[in-house]
Structure 1
Amino acid sequence: MHHARRSLVVAALAAPLLLGSAAQAAGPSVDGKVRISTAYVIPGDRVYPEGITADPRTGDLYAGTFEGGAVFKMTPGDRVAKEFLPARGDGRSQALGMEVDRSRRLWVTDRLTGLAVYDIPSRRLLARFTVTGQQARLVNDMAITPDGTAYITDSRRAVVYRVTPEQLAKAQEQGGDTPLTPAFDLSAVVEPHAPDSITLNGIVTEPSGRYLLTVDMTGGDLYRIALPSGRVEKVALSGGDLTTGDGLELRNGTLWAAHPITDAYAISRWRIGSDGRTARLTRRVTDPALQTPTTLLRKDGKLYVVRSQFDKGGPTGPGTPRLPFSIAAVSGL
């Protein structure tokens, strides 16, 4: 986010794209093997879904929205998602990066305020972490390591925040707002960009928690953050780069990235070296049926991809979205 998702698209990257009827049909063929279909429908005419995560115990999916911050629950077997958390609840204006931890807590980021943690069974707000100061911020994607520590990217400040289980317990006990403080500052490592550029975006954890991988959306680089030291290295990419890389998913040495690119909506697939220091592009699929994909997750052999339609009257483009908003299922990738 590891799913969530997770992220905002650079305005300069998005522009209107007229989608043909074939791209809107269920299950169009891509490259002869990959198939894209609609897995879930999200109600609402201006929700603009952004992040996604899964509850490993139940198989339920959760999608956050850019407009208003509502969170929708998607249950296997039910095509239409149901509202789980209302828009603008608990001061939330957006729901971007999301994760479900082992204790069935739902973690949700808001780009301007910070992070909120909810108990799934009761839907009760457990703790809230806020970014302090007046500096520009974009609290974005997150990943939770096996020890229960959450790491969250800030796409304006090029930092990674950290919330440990101990900090969560203390924040829950004290109530109110707890400061969200940076753990790792990558501003001196990330390639220089224009002041308003989006840098760190998607973030994932290696399964055992040895390191994190995070993408610089504007520069197209992938960075490895060793844990717990925080040592940062640029991953050596071969076969391509990760320009416009948004949400990431890492499973069994394979990394998938969503690319909400103008006129070329894409998903790329990479093979990660055993030490996380190399990544080789193995496939890239482009299709308008992806509808500005912001993030994705792997479940039951498929990728579930958020179709944000950000460039259709959303945060990065004029026009009108094609309703209903939806989550795509991508098989064969």
Structure 2
Amino acid sequence: MSRSIHRRTFLTTAAALAGAVALPATAARAAAAPRISTAFTLPEERAYPEGIALDARTGDAYVGSYTTGAVYRAVRGSRAAEVFLPSGTDGRTTANGLKADRAGRLWVIDSTAGVDVYDLRTRALLARFTVPGGGPSFVNDLALGPDGTAYLTDSSRPVVYRVTPADLGRAHGGSATLDAAYDLSAVAPSDGLFLNGIVVDPSGRYLLAVGMTGGGLYRVGTATGSVRQVALNGGDLKHGDGLELAHGTLWAAHNATNTLSRWRLSPDGTSARLERQFTDTALQIPTTLARTHGRLLVVRSQFDKGGPMGQGVPEEPFTVAWVDGI
């Protein structure tokens, strides 16, 4: 998929959803406004960051560039990230969804091709999983289950791909095709981009994926493949991008509206209640988020300033923010 197609995809989505912003619940508006500050800066011009991953072993953060495919690393406590994987590494032209696993591997999505898996210590490419043929594809985000299984969304196809530890072992040192394990076509809208952010329940029983255009949240049983829409009380997830799940609380970044929201999930993951939502232009089109030590790291993409969502000039340097109080 060409860069021009990427740009048109984002522009079409933003235009289709302009003005379709859910208002926060009264209770969500009552609390004091969250605090936004800069966590660390990113190197290179036109980085336009999209994804973020935290290495639980070291506390280091990894951020991917949507426009070049570079990956940056911010060592724990550092105020400035450095280049970890240069632009164009292994032929990658974009890096969006990222995750670091407990075995010391970094998963890096290239939306045009699939996902690459790296050794964090040596930076060596361990395996590559590519999208199966059959039409347009836009691999977007991924989540890791408690057993090490990776789940990936596709914003052009109503499927969730799966890479098990056994799949990774078989592909070690080479490449394989992604397994479209879960079919969400029964709930997929017909108006363009669909699946985006994804998280896995800590038990591994189900995953949750957000529908960016319609604002729905979908629960997929990992063992059965059963799909149902989660009942959202008090709001919706339109423009929903990256998700974070911890202790029954779900956080979401709503990219085009500069919004973050917090939801309380029911024990079985079939419903969610909006607890907090706020909008601030200082979020600079937040694409994803990661929670650590009670705080959120939020990627400020600036996609609307000369990136895939609009014309203009970005503020330099690009940054990742701390957000406290949500």
Shift of 1:44: 1.4
Asked if 1:111 corresponds to 2:104, the answer is no
Identify which of 239, 245, 254 aligns with 2:249.
Answer: 254
What's the secondary structure of 1:135's corresponding residue?
coil
Matched-pair contact (CA < 8 Å) for 2:10–2:308: no
Runs of 4 or more consecutive aligned structure 1 residues displaced over 2 Å after TM superposition: 12-15, 30-33
Asked if 1:227 corresponds to 2:225, the answer is no
Matched-pair contact (CA < 8 Å) for 2:13–2:193: no
What amino acid does structure 2 have at the position aligned with 1:43?
P
Partner residue of 2:156? 156
Q: What is the alpha-carbon distance in structure 2 between the residues aligned to residue 12 and residue 309 of structure 1? A: 17
Partner residue of 1:281? 274
Matched-pair contact (CA < 8 Å) for 1:14–1:311: no
Q: What is the alpha-carbon distance in structure 1 between the residues aligned to residue 60 and residue 228 of structure 2? A: 35
Q: What is the alpha-carbon distance in structure 2 between the residues aligned to residue 33 and residue 308 of structure 1? A: 21
Identify which of 255, 265, 269 aligns with 1:272.
Answer: 265
**1:67-106 matched pairs, under 5 angstroms:** 67-106=67-106
Matched-pair contact (CA < 8 Å) for 1:153–1:201: yes
Q: What is the alpha-carbon distance in structure 2 between the residues aligned to residue 67 and residue 301 of structure 1? A: 30
Q: What is the alpha-carbon distance in structure 1 between the residues aligned to residue 208 and residue 194 of structure 2? A: 13
What's the secondary structure of 1:321's corresponding residue?
coil
What amino acid does structure 2 have at the position aligned with 1:306?
V
Q: What is the alpha-carbon distance in structure 2 between the residues aligned to residue 94 and residue 104 of structure 1? A: 22
What amino acid does structure 2 have at the position aligned with 1:236?
A
Matched-pair contact (CA < 8 Å) for 2:258–2:281: yes
Shift of 1:193: 2.3
**1:177-326 matched pairs, under 5 angstroms:** 177-190=175-188, 192-194=189-191, 197-261=192-256, 264-326=257-319
Matched-pair contact (CA < 8 Å) for 1:294–1:308: yes
Matched-pair contact (CA < 8 Å) for 1:39–1:328: yes
Shift of 1:10: 3.4
CA deviations on 1:197-218 (whole Å, 9 max, x unpaired) are: 1101000011111110000000
Shift of 1:53: 0.8
Across the aligned residues of Structure 1 and Structure 2, the Cα RMSD in angstroms comes to: 1.6
- Gaps spanning 5+ residues in structure 2: where? 1-7, 16-29
Q: What is the alpha-carbon distance in structure 2 between the residues aligned to residue 283 and residue 12 of structure 1? A: 28
Matched-pair contact (CA < 8 Å) for 2:33–2:278: no
Shift of 1:229: 1.1
Q: What is the alpha-carbon distance in structure 2 between the residues aligned to residue 200 and residue 77 of structure 1? A: 33
CA deviations on 1:203-251 (whole Å, 9 max, x unpaired) are: 0011111110000000100000112111111101110111110000001
What amino acid does structure 2 have at the position aligned with 1:137?
S
What's the secondary structure of 1:247's corresponding residue?
strand
Shift of 1:308: 0.2
What amino acid does structure 2 have at the position aligned with 1:204?
V
- Gaps spanning 5+ residues in structure 1: where? 1-7, 16-29
What amino acid does structure 2 have at the position aligned with 1:282?
E
Matched-pair contact (CA < 8 Å) for 2:65–2:94: yes
Between the two proteins, the alignment pairs up a number of residues equal to 305
Matched-pair contact (CA < 8 Å) for 2:68–2:87: yes
Matched-pair contact (CA < 8 Å) for 2:71–2:84: yes
TM-score of the pair, normalised by structure 1: 0.89
Matched-pair contact (CA < 8 Å) for 2:50–2:95: yes
Q: What is the alpha-carbon distance in structure 1 between the residues aligned to residue 14 and residue 211 of structure 2? A: 17
Q: What is the alpha-carbon distance in structure 1 between the residues aligned to residue 31 and residue 222 of structure 2? A: 38
What amino acid does structure 2 have at the position aligned with 1:178?
A
Identity %: 56
